[in-house]
Amino acid sequence: MTTQTDCKVPPAPLAETVTLDPEGAAELAIGFKALADPNRITLLTLIAAEETGEACVCDLTEPLGLGQPTVSHHLKVLVDAGFLTREKRGTWSYYSVVPGALEHLFNTMTERTAH
């Protein structure tokens, strides 16, 4: 079975139009996987909205309705993906949003897949 198209110019092979290498794809996948959970999106939003620009785990459990271990896990995923930084102060850890991290993720995707 063949499919007819009205296109008179043959399309360029995908390899010529997409410049995303395996390493770039892996980098993007880590970022998007970290953002794939609604709780993590909420955490980023809560931390970004803090007047001080940072939040402690103890400040984040109640708004999410989750326990401290679960919130800590989500925060670790966001730190590992490069969206948050973690600063230890005594027994507490404080988290801040990395400026431009989300923009970098989307710019990386659009730059590497530009036609």
At residue 88, the 3 state secondary structure works out as strand
pLDDT of 24 > 90? The answer is: no
For the entire predicted model, the pTM comes to 0.75
Assigned domain for 1 exists: no
The yes-or-no verdict on residue 10 having pLDDT over 70 is no
The answer to whether residue 40 is domain-embedded is yes
Is the model's pLDDT at 12 over the cut of 80?
Answer: no
Q: What is the mean pLDDT of residues 59-79?
A: 96
Q: Do the domain assignments include residue 100?
A: yes
| Domain enclosing residue 59, as ranges | 20-109
Domain count, the chain: 1
Q: Looking at the domain assignment, is residue 3 inside a domain? A: no
DSSP helix/strand/coil, 103: helix
Order the strands of the 54-56 sheet from edge to edge. Answer: 54-56, 92-97, 84-89
CATH classification at residue 26: 1.10.10.10
